[in-house]
Structure 1
Amino acid sequence: MVGYLNLILRLTIWFLLTANFSLQNIFIGIIVAFLLPGLDKTPVVLRDWLRVLGEILVAIPQAYFEAFEIMLRPHNEEDVTMERVKPQRTPGLIFLDIFLITFTPKTIVLKYHKDGWYEVHWVRRRNNR
């Protein structure tokens, strides 16, 4: 079941990149999704996928709120932090985590370290005291 989610994620990315739903492109996308390495390397829990998809749905209104907040009140401070990757993440879930962090306007993943860390750039509002 979860292998299908990896396949669907790859096809979704393919269709977002090509923006073409012709029969030929669908066929090419399926071939590319199967040829990309890493489909069966790590066991995946369906609960993890559902949790990440739920977090993405919550991030959509949060992204709009942060965008308006940045426009209305200046954010002058920048910060770079290291955040730990959740344990036992597959490449597909790591991609979705990076997408989730980068989706909101105040944060972006600068680098993914293979030893299990994200380097995250934050834009913050300076506290006036």
Structure 2
Amino acid sequence: MIGSLDLILRLVIWFLLTANLSVANIIIGICVALLLPHGKTALGALKDWLRVLWEIIVAIPQAYLEAFELIFRPHMQENITMERAKPRRSPGLVFLDIFLITFTPKTIVVKYHEEGWYEVHRVQRSRKR
């Protein structure tokens, strides 16, 4: 049986995609969440889940600030960096990490490397020389 946090994550994604909270859609969402394949990885510690969820909540105002900054002071410099993923992450936590990085307008995860690295595309203000 999949962990309850993974089930909740799958249901939240289902409801965000369908934008429908009818009884039929809830039943379909539960069936889809249970039928999706899952690995034999250990469930991430509750502390890790809570930390990532808190970081997402904190990222919401940051995303608005970055959006206004991009509107009023355009960023012209781009670069791709490699960021180390935290060790021993379940697939659900990896998804939330990628979501957190991609949520803000200045960054997007281009690729996740199985060795534990995120390839992140960033836009920045060009430095005056």
- TM-score normalized by the length of structure 1: 0.93
> Partner of 2:103 in structure 1?
103
Judge conservation of contact 1:81–1:121 (CA < 8 Å) in 2.
Answer: yes
Q: How far apart are the structure 2 equivalents of 1:18 and 1:73? A: 35
> Partner of 1:22 in structure 2?
22
- TM-score normalized by the length of structure 2: 0.93
Q: Please report how far the alpha carbon of residue 108 of structure 1 lies from its aligned counterpart in structure 2 after TM superposition.
A: 0.3
Name stretches of at least 5 consecutive residues in structure 2 with no aligned partner. Answer: none
2:120 maps to a residue whose letter is V
- 3-state secondary structure, aligned to 1:126: coil
Q: How far apart are the structure 2 equivalents of 1:66 and 1:86? A: 25
Judge conservation of contact 2:3–2:43 (CA < 8 Å) in 1.
Answer: no
Q: Please report how far the alpha carbon of residue 40 of structure 1 lies from its aligned counterpart in structure 2 after TM superposition.
A: 5.0
How many residues were matched structurally? 128
Q: RMSD over aligned Cα, in angstroms?
A: 1.4
> Partner of 2:74 in structure 1?
74
Q: Please report how far the alpha carbon of residue 3 of structure 1 lies from its aligned counterpart in structure 2 after TM superposition.
A: 1.9
Name stretches of at least 5 consecutive residues in structure 1 with no aligned partner. Answer: none
**Residues 30-61 of structure 1, C-alpha deviations (whole Å, 9 max, x = no match):** 01111112265223100000000010011000
Q: Which runs of 4+ in 1 moved over 3 A?
A: none
Q: How far apart are the structure 2 equivalents of 1:101 and 1:116? A: 15
**Residues 56-115 of structure 1, C-alpha deviations (whole Å, 9 max, x = no match):** 011000000101111111211000011111001000000000000000000000111122
